Structures are given as structure tokens and as C-alpha cells.
A and B are shown apart, each in its own frame.
Chain A
């Protein structure tokens, strides 16, 4: 296998919290060497001049929905993989909220095979915590772990029966498995399509108090204290949930939290005249909540940012807001969209990649997510300034449901490397 030398790059190191000029040698799927001069001399390596573009550890996106099995017309492993590659995502961690749910080792093996055949990026599957995500009986956590499940989650289905959940968490604890929950009080949030407040009242939409997230999180954290499980909250999106998270971390529980690209860059007012592409779960929040969430990412209280890539076809979105499906595609748009926070001065690039690459890899026990010698050569090369107008029909995903259609964005992926091989090069 030939080596590749990326010269003249600005290297983002989330561990050191630095951006430095240099070059990187990729060999045998690994980062073989990092040079602090931009144009080092290396024998028998293909040279790629990065032209002072940024080079960062590839994104590890936890919580990607692929439509296999059940909804292949919305997204296949092939299209999700292409979208990921085009977006600088080198590892997708897939959700089990498929049809049927990924709740047996057999289904898990099926999708692993599909992913291996079709996707140009790393695919790691998650499995359901309870059978059929119905919240009644735990799945075969041990078999699923052996079959390659990297975490267990019922996605947006909250396990309402705390006895069922506490047993599942206790069992998962004995296996050392990571459990991902959706902190949301199920009663309060039932039927909600928006966050309660002036906007939802004006639009006449059924709404949920932002407090439902804190209530869900508090319950989960009590169960974490009880069981000692490794716990990750999929999306924290409100200011009022943050103190509980901070307390749990201070008390030494094995707790991490994520948030979504949408909650960091949009607020409830973006829904405007019932634009269903802005309907996500949990619903978009107030501007105050958005700012608090960004600050929590900056401080490290929120560990991980994900796209929560949720492909939906046109029919399921072309409905009255209440009836329309939730979710947005994000694999390809996440980096340029989040660069808005870099351009606005809200987040520095090493901070961004700490949440996009380093922390999710660390949480899943992966070797990737680092700009270090010996780490997997999963990298993204991008121009942070290049402006463009997003055209949803040019996205690689089968589904085009992005809220950023027509948005003016700055920042484009130039190349994505997985194990040292370029899986995407911009035209």
C-alpha cells in the first residue's frame, strides 16, 4: 500500500487544543508521522498539497439513521456512506430504530454485512435496549455485544417503565455496555410538535415545556446512580437540563451527553410558517437555550455533537406540521453548518472537533478521533471559508429533507480519508 503525504495543511488537534501548520504522512491505514514543517521530504509517498486547508480527525457521528431494513427508499448504506464521506464523517454509528428494530444478533449481522459491502466509511451499529423498542423486555444484550453492537438505545422511545429500565441498565452495567437514552418526560412531551412558548402559542402548535428534558434527565441520572451503568444522553438541548448534567459529572458518574447540529444552529423561530423540514425531535428550542447549548459544548459539559441524520421522504414531510414526520438529514451538511459557529466566534475549531471526533470516539472506545501518530488515518480536509449556497437536490442522501436548503454556508470538505484512502475528493 502506497503512502500519502498531505503537505501544507493546518492541523487541528483536539487533544492539544491547537491548530498548527504541518504535514501528515498516511501509511498502512494509520497516521505514520506528523511533521511540524509544511513541506517535509518523504521518499515514495504520493504528495497532496493541502493548500493551507484544515486537516482534522474524521467525524464520528453517533445516531445516524439508515433506512435498512425497512425504509431503503429513504436511505441505504450506500447513499448514507456517500453522504458521510462528502461531509467528512469517517465513522457512522447507526441507530436501531429501523423496521424491524435492530434488536437481535441476526438483524445486526445482516446490517453489518450490508454496511461492509456498500459503505465507503466505517459503520458501527447500535442495537435496541428493549425488544422492538417497546420498553417491556430487554434485548439479548450479551449476544448483541458479541455481534458488534457498540451501544444500546431505544432512540426516541423512552422506556417509561422504570423497573424494566433499571433491570436493563443493571444488566448492561454487568457487561460494561454503553446505554444511550433520550431524556424526555414521555407524558409531558406526548403529541408535541414544538417547544411551548410564545412562538408555539402563536402558531397554535401542540407544545412541550422545555422542562420535560430536565425531568427525563433527572430520572435517568437517578437510575445511573442506582445501577452504575455507562450512560450517554443523546441530546441535551435546553439550559435548564444543564445543571443536573453538571452535578452528575461532578459526582463522578460515568455520564456523557450529546446534542444535535440543529439545536446548536437553529431556534424555534426558524420553523416560521410551518416549515416541516425544521421539525426535529426534540423540537427546536428558544434562542436562549441554543446559546446555552453552544456554551455547554464550548465548556465541555456537553461532550458530543451529532447530526442525528434522519432521512424522510417528501411525502412524510409534505403534511400539516403536526402530522409531518420529524427529523432532518445532516451527514453531509453538519460540518459546513457547524462552521457557522466558528465564523461567528462561538466555537474554536479544536473545540468543534473535540465534540465531533475526539469525544465520540473516546466514548465508544475507538482509536480514531485523534491527530496523533499511530491513530487510524481517518481524516477530513476542509476549506473553512469557501462560500456556497446549499442545494438540497445535490445532496448524496436519498432523502433531501434538510432545513438548510438555500442557506448560505461557508466551508467545504475537500477530501475525506478512511484508513488512509481518499473516499471523497471534491470536484
Chain B
């Protein structure tokens, strides 16, 4: 069992065996989380700071619970309300943080690459909780764990990722992860929301959702941001729902046991029919949330082990 990363900045740097290591450990944390007494002390004595430069409820809550279950001291910093407004640069923020000696730093930022930049300047382990349109590694890992538990494997599956690929960090991380684990990935969506050069990633691209869902094992829906509707990228919400919203008819083209996923929060009636989202035989959306906590516990545990294996750094 090996996990050689100092940070979790994305799926791109991870090896397949590291992904498996993390998911195996996450399985154990699912078990722990389902017990009445959920506490472990693997992070005790460590300080975790959640820094969100962009609004988030679920991801931030998930990281907070994960840290607390493992015994870390957790602090939340809502950055959009704080120093950023006062003109402090990201680098200055990093230097300020160093002086507080955190061990784990969870960061979400609206700009691609901002978390990488921060990781270069701080002494602690950094977890990317989403940067711009770049990566959202823990989301891809929780999706992978959900798939592995539902399908019994995480290889040789046909997986369709549907909707707004262009603006989605979730899609990018998922494509990278699922390809590393040797699955076939299809992208389904309006061509205005499929970014350039995607065919070079070795994915299949479908404009027609019925064809795109043909014989897939997993249907991953993405959220369509409200501000992207109405004329900019798609003609209207109702045309989008008609052509790319997941309903029973479109889903009938997938395998009979195909599962339906969504990273949340959902727009019912825009990208997904509410009855499908609630169908416990098809939808694993609730499981995804549960797996999210377990995967984040595993990620922080593994990074903390590597942190403890290193000699204490002299603070600059």
C-alpha cells in the first residue's frame, strides 16, 4: 500500500495504485462512519483549515465532518468575506497561514491553478476542494468509490458524463480518474459545452444523449449553472431539458442496471427528472454524499501519515 503524495491537488498526478489505496482506506471509513461511535484519533493534534474562496455548503461541510471524525482541530475561513476583499494577494494569505502552523489546508478557489500556486508557498499538506474549471479530486474519488461499491469494480465500465463539461472541474477530474482505471468514458452534451480538444483525451463525444447512453453502466449528470442558461451557451432551459435532461426515456437506453449519479446540488427539471433522482433503484446520489465524507477522511489520513513521516520543517 503506497501513497506518495505530499498534496492532493488533482487526479492528474495520482497513480492507479494510489487511487486504489485511497479507496480501500475510504471503505474502512465508511464502516467507521456507520457506527454509533464514529470517532478516530488519527488526526489528533493536527490543525485543519478550510479555506473557501468560493461559496460551498456541501463540500465544506463534508471536509469539516471528515476532519472532526478523525480528531483534527478544524477551522473554517470564509475567504470571500475576508481579506481578499481588502486586496490581500493569495501569496500573502499563504504566508499568513504559515504563521498559524496548519497541517492540512483545504482550499477552494474560483481560478484554475490557484490551489497549485498556494501549495507552492505553504508548508502544510494542501487538498484541492475545487479550483476554477481545473480539478476537484475528492469529488472524482468519491464518485469512484460509489461506482466501485455499486458495480463491484472500477474498470472496464462504460461511463457517460453528461451536461456542462466545459465549466466543470468535476468532469475533468472524473475523466482523468476513470481513464487511469481503464474505463471507457463518453461525454454527452451540447457542443457549446464540450471544451476544445476533448477528443484528444481518448473520450467519445456524443451530441445525441440517447446514443450516448447506449449500454452504459454509469450515468453521471453534471449541474448546469443557472448563469449559463438562456442564450449564452444553450437556447433555453426547456430546450436543454428536452435534449439533455435525464428522464426515464433517455435512461432506458442505458443498461438496465445502470446507476445514476449527480455531484449536487441538483436542478430538478433542468438536467435531471426528479423522479429519477429519487429512484432508489437507480440513483446513488445520496451514497455519493456519504462516500464524500469517507473519501475525504481517507485522503487526509494518508496525507497526514506522509506529513508525520517527514522531519518537522523549520518555519520560514
Contact = CB atoms under 8 A, between A and B. Distances in A.
Interface string B84-116: 000001110000000000000000010111101
Interface stretch (A70-78, A191-199, A287-295, A355-363): A191-199
Interface string B186-206: 000000000111101100000
B172 A204 contact: yes
**Majority secondary structure, A binding face:** loop
B112 A319 contact: no
Given A273-B113, A273-B116, A321-B112, A204 B135 contact: yes
A204 B89 CA distance: 21
Interface stretch (B126-134, B141-149, B289-297): B126-134
Contacts of A320: 90, 109, 111-114, 117, 132
A117 interface: no
Interface in B194-249: 195-198, 200-201
B74 to A, nearest CB: 25
Interface residues on B, range: 20 to 34
A205 interface: yes
A197 B198 CA distance: 8
A427 B197 CA distance: 48
A224 B135 CA distance: 45
Interface residues on A, range: 20 to 34
Nearest to A316: B89
B169 interface: yes
Interface in A258-277: 273-274
Given A315-B89, A318-B91, A320-B90, A200 B197 contact: yes
A257 interface: no
Nearest to B195: A201
A209 interface: yes
Nearest to A197: B197
A116 interface: no
Given A274-B117, A315-B89, A319-B90, A199 B111 contact: no
Nearest to A321: B113
Contact of A274 (B91, B112, B133): B112
B198 A201 contact: yes
Interface in A272-331: 273-274, 315, 318-323
B172 A207 contact: no
Contact of A204 (B90, B134, B196, B201): B134
A203 B195 CA distance: 11
B116 A198 contact: no
15 contacts: A196-B197, A198-B200, A201-B172, A201-B195, A201-B196, A202-B172, A204-B131, A204-B132, A204-B172, A273-B113, A319-B90, A320-B109, A320-B112, A321-B113, A322-B112
Interface of A: 196-205, 207, 209, 273-274, 315, 318-323
